Structure 1
Amino acid sequence: MESFEMFGVCLLFLSLLSMSSTLEMITPTQPLKDGANENVTLVSTNGTFEAGFFSPANSGSRYLGIWYKTISPRTVVWVANKETPLQDHSGVLELDRDQGILSIKSGTGAKIWSSNASHTRSKPVAVELLESGNMVVKDGHNNFLWQSFDYPDDTLLPGMKLGMNLKTGHYRALRSWKSLNDPTPGEFSFGVDTRGLPQLVITKDSNDNIVFRPGSWNGVRVTGVPGQRTHPLTKSLFVMNEDEIYYEIQLLNSSTKLRSRLVPQGLQMRLIWSDESKIWDTPYTGSFDECERYGMCGANTICNVSGANQHCECLSGFRSNVADSTCERIIPLDCNKGDSFKKYEGMKLPDTSSSWYDKRMSLEECQKLCLSNCSCTAYAQLDMSANGSGCLQWFNDIVDFRILAQDGQDFYLRITASKLQDHAFNSKIGGIILGCTVFIIAIVVFGSILCLKRNKLKQTDLIQFQVAETNYWKDKNKKDDIDLPIFDFLYISNATNNFSESNKLGQGGFGPVYKGILPDGQEIAVKRLSKTSGQGLDEFKNEVLLIAKLQHRNLVKLLGCSIHQDERLLIYEFMPNRSLDYFIFDSTRSTSIDWAKRFEIIDGIARGLLYLHQDSRLNIIHRDLKTSNVLLDSNMKPKISDFGIARTFNQDQDEANTNKVMGTYGYMPPEYAVHGSFSVKSDVFSFGVIVLEIITGRKNRGFRDPHNELNLLGHAWRLWIEKRPMELMGESMDTGDDPSEILRYIHIGLLCVQYRPEDRSNMSSVVLVLNSEKLLPEPSQPGFYPGRNNLTTMTDSSSRNLDAYSLNEMSETLLEAR
């Protein structure tokens, strides 16, 4: 009996040993196994962290994770198989002896999760769990072949990097859990937005949907995180160089246990373990106010919290638009009238995703550069450490701008000349009255000419009609003869049902577009110059003079114009199938365009551009070619439209420059966006973007490769050099019976978007290769590819300026040439 009891005690002792067994490393011959009666784990050298299989509270699912070994309840900091949990205790973590791949297999041998293969030829030796909480695959020379820190979960640990490796394109960001006890990926991500000046952001559902923005790094701290939210035993690190961009937290005392977690609700919380109270404390005890929410007050506003109150107000030089609760500029900026700056103190700097910066400039140089740039809307000091240095500039709306209770920065907003500001309303009203008076006189003089019917006016009549407005027409009309119909405003207003919303087709940089029906039944499209449009009289004249002389089946036909007081209208032939972007970017409508039709549309756009560049007598550069400016007729034939910012070239002219760069993000080539240099190769770049958008059904500006933080051009280039270009289409797109033709169009698209304009094909060559089997040269790296610092090379500066993204489809001003 005694021997039997002793035997039972031994069994129990052996069982306890088995249940608590640990490993110092995992090798190809020593895997880590789960088990109902055997819980084998991997433990770091000093016992801070532990890795193994576990089940969250109130769950039977099994996950491979890493947690603090001595903290109870279990605090998990990393999970491998978040989307593929095991439902039993049969899981095994194995190390492949050849490629260094870690994999989790079920009891049936099925692989449910695996790490990336090693890119080196070194043989893996073992898997170890470091004291930092980083699980690594090491070779015989102690090099890391793979590490869990490269693939963060919802927790940022000291020494872990968030951001992008610019050499490999690898991007690291936190991803929230679905709930506190469900590791399934949730809605929120926390990482570094690398557009413009890199900044920390929390996004929801997609990388473009920002919900919270801690801000950019100012050399001392993140701009939106006051010093009171930091801990004396920790510090933040923000690195920006040619190789990588990343954010990291560091410990000043190695015994401190610190973690930063992105909770399921979308908040990022920094927590420090208290050995005394045995709980996780937050070093910041203050509350978060409403101004923390991204863009709380809208564009061009200040969010201000004073005591328990929070309010929004328009920036200086802006006023509230009651109709849509936005702030609009009272008087447009004008480089030639002595714009000045208003200083705001104690601010959180606004969204920097569309900014530009230079580390070497002084604040005075920054101000002068901004004043010389018609597109610059604000500036601030880049680095606040020591004596301060560097230049940071904005070029669009000011978004997510607020007053901070402490640790704020100075911000300089560009405003119109003080005299104009003081008399903004009077000047605006006076201008309207003067304009109306001039046009009334013109109408009286030529009232016999304008009637409710359409009348064709010869160029001499058109000159007389415009004499009260500008002498511009006189100079142009000495050379050219335009036979353009002039429509009465009331005639067009009746045709569009008084410009009713039900007749509105869309909105562009010029203004809204309406459908109209003339008394004879002819359908028309009417572009109405918006009073708040960034484009104005010059663009109106430009389009009338240019397109009236152009006749090509792939260009939209201008039927006439109308000028009445401050109303300016352009009347076009009606395109029943709207614009190209209406079809190709919609998952349902895009199915109606097969590959043959897509290729036909590409060919039509190419022929239209060739006519503009070479075959027309004017030699025109469009400068704003994009999918929304390609209209489709009843037979889905493409027609290029919108010539408001187009420019003509002389026969012997190769390129030109401008100090006011206008166009649309995502379609501009680098030399135009940065230097203001444009040529026919600028349109070729835009055409290449359109080709890739038509082939893939994705927007260049809206697309971001989640793994490498690349736009569509960068993603296409990466797949091309990796010999995987057909993956551009995605699983949902049928490549048809002959994918080689699709591959050829991808090839042509990449040849058109090459970084250097001289490397791009001209449109005559493009049209030729689109209709032949001619062997194509290999493309080189596209413009705005973050694999190297393209803009730094172009500006001969140490600054970086990555491709900006915008959700606005309207034409916009970007950067001035330097």
Structure 2
Amino acid sequence: MVTTSTSLDSLAMGQSIRDGDTLVSASGIIEVGFFSPGNSTRRYLGIWYTNVSPFTVVWVANRNTPLENNSGVLKLNEKGILVLLNATNSTIWKSNISSKAVNNPTAHPLDSGNFVVRNGQGNNDDNILWQSFDYPGDALLPMMKLGWNLETDLARYLSCWKSVDDPVEGEYTQKIYLRGYPQTIEFQGPHIITRAGSWNGLSNVGKTGPIHEISQKFVLNEKEVYYEYWLRDRSVFCVHTLTPSGKAQTWFWTTQSSNRQLVSTGDKDPCDQYAFCGANAICNYEGNIPNCECIRGYAPKSPDQWNISLWSNGCLPRNKSNCKNSYTDGFLTYTNMKIPDTSSSTYNTTMNLEECKNSCIKNCSCTAYASLDIRDGGSGCLLWFNNLVDMRKFSQRGQDLYIRVPASELGATRKLISKHYKIKQKKEDVELPTFNLSVLANATENFSIRNKLGEGGFGPVYKGTLIDGQELAVKRLSKKSGQGLEELKNEVALIAKLQLHNLVKLLGCCIEGEEKILVYEYMPNKSLDKFVFDETKRYLLDWHTRFDIISGIARGLLYLHQDSRLRIVHRDLKTSNILLDANLDPRISDFGLARLFLGDQVEANTNRVAGTYGYIPPEYATRGHFSMKSDVFSYGVIVLEIASGKKNREFSDPENNNNLLGHSWRLWTEEKTMELLDEVLGKQCVSSEVIR
């Protein structure tokens, strides 16, 4: 319970606040004051949100030294130190002493939830003498760092409350563990209980919960190692907490709805338990039943226990390694993996994947390797030595892990590989897994209209769900389609060789009788046009998100034209062929009309003009002349549509008889570019980015 009498926006040198007074942030979102948690009568100095129900405290100063009555006083002294005094004027808590020269210090609660002491009147970070963000409690807020300042040896980590009535440090902590390649780990006392995983360029693979409203980053250099997240929408609030029972929960609320919602419960399944399967084994959780499987070339250490589902002893190699023949070893690719504990790994940020593989094969103790960063086809190198611990198989997230096996095991594995669909393309074999028609019919409820996601030139696309829960996008060739087997083969031959985050991933195909089907990873947010041109969903795309989408499409296009080992012209770029994943990251899709350019070839002609009017350039529409510039033209149309929220083919400027392109050019020449911007974006955008 909190009672207030006076409110201040800052605390100047020599000033104080008493129990009942509060310090309030500029927008009134955050308060600093005294409170009693739960049913307790003890008093604590804390930070809480004012615009949310129930009462949400995110930081406690004197969590280990409570006040026994309402006589607490917080002062700011001439050295810039916050001092908390009790009834007998004894100090029960104080902030750290800064090494900087102090001149007229002031203390401020910020809208971010940070409580800072500043040196003088400046608002930049260099003027901060002390901040609560450096000393987290049980809550991680946006823009708060979880990790280490290596120069000062300052550790920022979460520690739970003992109970809802007692904020004293409990037994659970969440930390960035620095040994080997840094990773996020939750401890119960000194024991690891779960491992969120190491950063892969996009996220911590083992983390669960919604991330579509947040952006994340991980910083690793000689000065700092930390994880941080921030919100894309300023009307949304988010708090990540570590509960007294050890659950890592995430809460969201908005300015429109002040009731906080639990969006990540922190519940753990058996595979979340650290080393549930022991060493050299992979945990799989399907149908609410955990299962452990030894990696290829390994066998259970305790077969009798393994047979009754007691897996904690893990697996051992079937045969001892012969280092003299290490170059005859090979690697098996395990997909959608939570990679092993990286505390015994080494890493290199400059190697590519091939160099990483060669480095591993040269070292007899190296047991596995993986990309450090999975974006843009992968970069950097992680190497493991000896045992591989705490691995997990996911149905659709995770990353590729390459595990070393002797040549004898590679031969056995090749015999177990299922049939593949092969297409000859420029003297190269493209191998792609096939799906049985009955499996896809089951997954889509016999291609039910309820599961239909949309329809393009190839035919309808359906959402499918396999027995293991994996979601698919199933593209079925329509008998009325102008496209056919050649387009299907073309798409398979091209996209099966492409690996980039901003290109949709082809999982397999099905050719049975008259049925011709392609199977892709499922994109939960469907296509870009469903957002940009929708009167409701367009509000979900703020400028920051639109700019990220524009940049992501550009990365995908650059890869197709320049960075992949093939040079590919897509020929049908449009907003409906840009799919959005759960994070609203864009993926270029539909390669049925794409063409491969060989060597130094930069242009070509076709007798059959394909593509979509409104997106194809004039020289292609009139003469069949296409090149990489054709895709760039289509990309430009998409950019204008994203920025304006209007369709090129449907837009009409009655005063000047212009389509969207002509209208945009007129505004540009008249230096009125900002008038093109979608009206729902308001003034929250960065004008320099819009104009660029």
Question: In structure 1, what is the Cα distance between the partners aligned to 2:168 and 2:283?
Answer: 35
Question: In structure 1, what is the Cα distance between the partners aligned to 2:377 and 2:301?
Answer: 41
Matched, 1:24 2:14: no
Matched, 1:66 2:56: no
Q: What is the Cα deviation at residue 62 of structure 1?
A: 0.3
Task: Tell me the alpha carbon deviations over residues 78-119 of structure 1, each in whole angstroms, 9 at most, x when there is no partner.
Answer: 001011000001111111202x22111111111111111011
- Pairing 1:702-721 to 2, within 5 Å after superposition: none
Question: In structure 2, what is the Cα distance between the partners aligned to 1:285 and 1:51?
Answer: 28
- Pairing 1:383-782 to 2, within 5 Å after superposition: 383-418=373-408
Q: Specify the alignment match of 2:534 in structure 1.
A: none
**Structure 1 pair 19–166 and aligned structure 2 pair: CA distance change class (3 A):** closer
Task: Tell me the alpha carbon deviations over residues 296-326 of structure 1, each in whole angstroms, 9 at most, x when there is no partner.
Answer: 1111111011212211121111111227743
Q: What is the Cα deviation at residue 198 of structure 1?
A: 1.0
Identify the match of residue 272 of structure 2 among 289, 292, 295: 292
Question: In structure 2, what is the Cα distance between the partners aligned to 1:70 and 1:234?
Answer: 20
Matched, 1:355 2:345: yes
Question: In structure 2, what is the Cα distance between the partners aligned to 1:25 and 1:357?
Answer: 46
Q: What is the Cα deviation at residue 69 of structure 1?
A: 1.5
CA contact (8 A) 1:154 1:174 kept: yes
Q: Specify the alignment match of 1:309 in structure 2.
A: 289
Matched, 1:106 2:86: yes
Q: What is the Cα deviation at residue 284 of structure 1?
A: 4.4
Matched, 1:224 2:206: yes
CA contact (8 A) 1:317 1:421 kept: no
Q: Specify the alignment match of 1:282 in structure 2.
A: 262
- Which one-letter code corresponds to 2:160 in the other structure? S
Q: What is the Cα deviation at residue 217 of structure 1?
A: 0.6
CA contact (8 A) 2:160 2:171 kept: yes
Q: Specify the alignment match of 1:214 in structure 2.
A: 196
Q: What is the Cα deviation at residue 71 of structure 1?
A: 2.2
Identify the match of residue 111 of structure 2 among 120, 131, 142: 131
Question: In structure 1, what is the Cα distance between the partners aligned to 2:214 and 2:395?
Answer: 22
CA-based RMSD of the aligned residues comes to 2.0
- Which one-letter code corresponds to 2:94 in the other structure? S
- Pairing 1:780-795 to 2, within 5 Å after superposition: none
**1:328 partner SS:** strand
Q: Specify the alignment match of 1:144 in structure 2.
A: 128
CA contact (8 A) 1:333 1:339 kept: no
Matched, 1:47 2:33: no
**Structure 1 pair 54–419 and aligned structure 2 pair: CA distance change class (3 A):** closer
Q: Specify the alignment match of 1:328 in structure 2.
A: 316
CA contact (8 A) 2:196 2:207 kept: yes
**Structure 1 pair 331–20 and aligned structure 2 pair: CA distance change class (3 A):** same
**1:132 partner SS:** coil
Question: In structure 2, what is the Cα distance between the partners aligned to 1:224 and 1:377?
Answer: 21
Question: In structure 2, what is the Cα distance between the partners aligned to 1:162 and 1:420?
Answer: 42
Q: What is the Cα deviation at residue 422 of structure 1?
A: 6.0
**Structure 1 pair 126–275 and aligned structure 2 pair: CA distance change class (3 A):** closer
- Which one-letter code corresponds to 2:407 in the other structure? A
Matched, 1:375 2:365: yes
**Structure 1 pair 138–239 and aligned structure 2 pair: CA distance change class (3 A):** same
Q: Specify the alignment match of 2:643 in structure 1.
A: none
Question: In structure 1, what is the Cα distance between the partners aligned to 2:255 and 2:132?
Answer: 27
- Which one-letter code corresponds to 2:389 in the other structure? V
Identify the match of residue 94 of structure 1 among 66, 75, 82: 75
CA contact (8 A) 2:162 2:168 kept: yes
Q: Specify the alignment match of 2:167 in structure 1.
A: 183
Percent identity over the alignment is 45
Question: In structure 1, what is the Cα distance between the partners aligned to 2:224 and 2:148?
Answer: 6
Q: What is the Cα deviation at residue 166 of structure 1?
A: 1.3
Task: Tell me the alpha carbon deviations over residues 570-615 of structure 1, each in whole angstroms, 9 at most, x when there is no partner.
Answer: xxxxxxxxxxxxxxxxxxxxxxxxxxxxxxxxxxxxxxxxxxxxxx
**1:364 partner SS:** helix
Mind listing any 5+ residue stretches in structure 1 that lack a counterpart? Answer: 1-17, 424-818
Task: Tell me the alpha carbon deviations over residues 218-268 of structure 1, each in whole angstroms, 9 at most, x when there is no partner.
Answer: 111112136xx3332211111111210100110111221111001111121
More helix by share: 1
Identify the match of residue 120 of structure 1 among 83, 100, 104: 100
Count the aligned residue pairs: 397
**1:45 partner SS:** coil
- Which one-letter code corresponds to 2:315 in the other structure? C
Instruction: Tell me the TM-score normalised to structure 2 length.
Output: 0.55
Task: Tell me the alpha carbon deviations over residues 599-643 of structure 1, each in whole angstroms, 9 at most, x when there is no partner.
Answer: xxxxxxxxxxxxxxxxxxxxxxxxxxxxxxxxxxxxxxxxxxxxx
Task: Tell me the alpha carbon deviations over residues 391-434 of structure 1, each in whole angstroms, 9 at most, x when there is no partner.
Answer: 111113111101012212111111223269869xxxxxxxxxxx
- Which one-letter code corresponds to 1:418 in the other structure? S
Task: Tell me the alpha carbon deviations over residues 274-296 of structure 1, each in whole angstroms, 9 at most, x when there is no partner.
Answer: 55664322334796421111111
- Which one-letter code corresponds to 1:361 in the other structure? M
Q: Specify the alignment match of 1:261 in structure 2.
A: 241
Comparing 43-52 with 279-288, greater Cα deviation is found at 279-288
Question: In structure 2, what is the Cα distance between the partners aligned to 1:147 and 1:176?
Answer: 20
Question: In structure 2, what is the Cα distance between the partners aligned to 1:80 and 1:106?
Answer: 13
Question: In structure 2, what is the Cα distance between the partners aligned to 1:165 and 1:50?
Answer: 27
CA contact (8 A) 2:236 2:255 kept: no
Question: In structure 2, what is the Cα distance between the partners aligned to 1:212 and 1:180?
Answer: 22
**1:279 partner SS:** coil
**Structure 1 pair 187–232 and aligned structure 2 pair: CA distance change class (3 A):** same
Question: In structure 2, what is the Cα distance between the partners aligned to 1:124 and 1:186?
Answer: 37
Q: Specify the alignment match of 2:183 in structure 1.
A: 199
Question: In structure 1, what is the Cα distance between the partners aligned to 2:283 and 2:370?
Answer: 18
- Which one-letter code corresponds to 1:230 in the other structure? P
Matched, 1:248 2:248: no
CA contact (8 A) 1:118 1:146 kept: yes
CA contact (8 A) 1:237 1:249 kept: yes
Question: In structure 2, what is the Cα distance between the partners aligned to 1:285 and 1:25?
Answer: 36
Identify the match of residue 83 of structure 1 among 47, 64, 72: 64
CA contact (8 A) 1:305 1:311 kept: yes
Larger radius of gyration: 1
Identify the match of residue 144 of structure 2 among 160, 168, 174: 160
Question: In structure 1, what is the Cα distance between the partners aligned to 2:263 and 2:149?
Answer: 30
CA contact (8 A) 2:249 2:265 kept: no
Q: Specify the alignment match of 2:156 in structure 1.
A: 172
**1:386 partner SS:** helix
Task: Tell me the alpha carbon deviations over residues 635-693 of structure 1, each in whole angstroms, 9 at most, x when there is no partner.
Answer: xxxxxxxxxxxxxxxxxxxxxxxxxxxxxxxxxxxxxxxxxxxxxxxxxxxxxxxxxxx
Question: In structure 1, what is the Cα distance between the partners aligned to 2:83 and 2:54?
Answer: 27
**Structure 1 pair 419–219 and aligned structure 2 pair: CA distance change class (3 A):** closer
Mind listing any 5+ residue stretches in structure 2 that lack a counterpart? Answer: 306-312, 414-692
**2:37 partner SS:** coil
- Which one-letter code corresponds to 1:358 in the other structure? N
Q: What is the Cα deviation at residue 124 of structure 1?
A: 4.6
Question: In structure 2, what is the Cα distance between the partners aligned to 1:335 and 1:145?
Answer: 56
CA contact (8 A) 1:211 1:293 kept: yes
Question: In structure 1, what is the Cα distance between the partners aligned to 2:86 and 2:267?
Answer: 45
- Which one-letter code corresponds to 1:282 in the other structure? L
Task: Tell me the alpha carbon deviations over residues 772-794 of structure 1, each in whole angstroms, 9 at most, x when there is no partner.
Answer: xxxxxxxxxxxxxxxxxxxxxxx
Q: What is the Cα deviation at residue 366 of structure 1?
A: 0.6
Say which structure, 1 or 2, has more relative contact order (CA 8 Å, 6+ apart).
1
**Structure 1 pair 158–327 and aligned structure 2 pair: CA distance change class (3 A):** same
**1:128 partner SS:** strand
